[in-house]
Amino acid sequence: MSQPGLKGVIAAETKIGEVDGLNGKLIYRGYEIRELTKKLSYEEAAYLLWYGEIPDSDELLEFKEFFYQNRALTPVMKGVLDVLPSDMDMMSVIRTVLSASGDTSYGWKPTLEQAIGITAKVPTIIANRKNKLEGRSYVIPDFSLSHVENYLYMLDDTLPRPEHVRALETYMILTMEHGMNASTFSARVTASTESDLVSAVCSAIGTMKGPLHGGAPSEVIRLLDEVANQEDVKAYLSGKVLAGEKLMGFGHRVYKTHDPRALALKENLMGQVGKDEWLDLALSVEAAAIETLHELKPGRALYTNVEFYAAAIMKALQLDSSLFTPTFTASRMVGWTAHVLEQAENNTIFRPLSKYVGK
């Protein structure tokens, strides 16, 4: 029996992560994501996905030193970044500049060192592309800052607020990995041909660029902007639902109950109450929206998804919408490369069949 889109078809076995939509769980290497975001930094979560275990203090120190040292772009990559046309979108910029790093040292099999090196460079590409478009000079990474803190620093050339760092770090941990999604599948298919790691990652970036997969939470931000000017939030949301409009940021095609990533983000933001107006607004809007949906759509499992709180974080950070999917990409680099490395361990080329229905 054919399965359009391969829905429900198991294409690979993995030890990296599991998406349990029925029970609302996301697992990284045997750990529930909500527990990880309470105690791990981005670096520790990345180490877990790449190495399969949480590092001790010595392992983490050595890992961070190598990870941070790889942030700088090579002269070739910087040269390519400098000459790209100004109307090229950010996802295409990331893909093109990373392609310039794929020299003869990137062969089969991919290595963990390559994965770390590529992941470390993506924030540098994004930030300096933004700087160039805004007429600012190239910003050199600060090798003393954490991965997320350095990303925010390079975007604005100023040290970010701690609550903003922690909010974005939580988001980037939550979006590192999400099972056999479209972009991860693309990366594994490319790797299965024994192509190099850069090519596999560029396949994933091309897939993430599509709005059906890497769509940014722009619609949620539009909702927050609208609600910010309303005296009675619940009445305004009720009016939208009764008019047949969808409340963006609620419901998910995989999770049939609470989205665990949204719950983890909310837990983080509860500790930031009173420190940022947009984060405070998101918490109040969620409460009103859930109450409204339960009243007007009883029996429907409509809960907050990760895009809702992601939008609040992006708004608080004042990130332009053009940076939403690239930031998602910067976090997912860890999951993509982990899957490519796993594919290479016991490789079989992907070669599904097609059913001929023509003349």
Tell me the chain's radius of gyration from C-alpha atoms: 21
CB 115 within 8 A of CB 341: yes
Edge-first strand order for the sheet with 17-20 is 17-20, 25-28, 31-32
Neighbours of 328 (CB within 10 A): 22
CA distance 63 to 85: 36
212 vs 6, 120, 207, CA distance in Å?
A: 16, 26, 9
Q: What tokens were used for 329? A: 């990409």
Count of C-beta atoms within a 10 Å radius of residue 300:
11
Q: Which of 152, 324, 314, 305 has its CA nearest to residue 224?
A: 314
Q: What is the largest CA-CA distance in the chain?
A: 66
Give the active site residue among 164, 252, 286, 342: 252
- Which residue's structure tokens are 């970010």? 160
Identify whether 177 is a catalytic site residue. Answer: no
Separation CA 322–CA 97 (nearest Å): 17
Q: Which two three-digit tokens encode residue 8?
A: 């429900």
Residue 29 CA to residue 54 CA, distance in Å, equals 10
Catalytic residue among 43, 149, 286, 307: 307
Alpha carbons 128 and 273: distance in angstroms, whole number:
32
CA separation, residue 228 to residues 8, 248, 261 (Å): 41, 15, 24
Is residue 307 among the annotated active site residues? yes
Strand segments, DSSP code E, in the chain are 17-20, 25-28, 31-32
Three-state secondary-structure class, residue 312: helix
Where helices occur in 84-217 by DSSP H, the ranges are 90-99, 112-133, 147-156, 162-174, 182-192, 197-208, 211-214
Catalytic residues: 252, 307
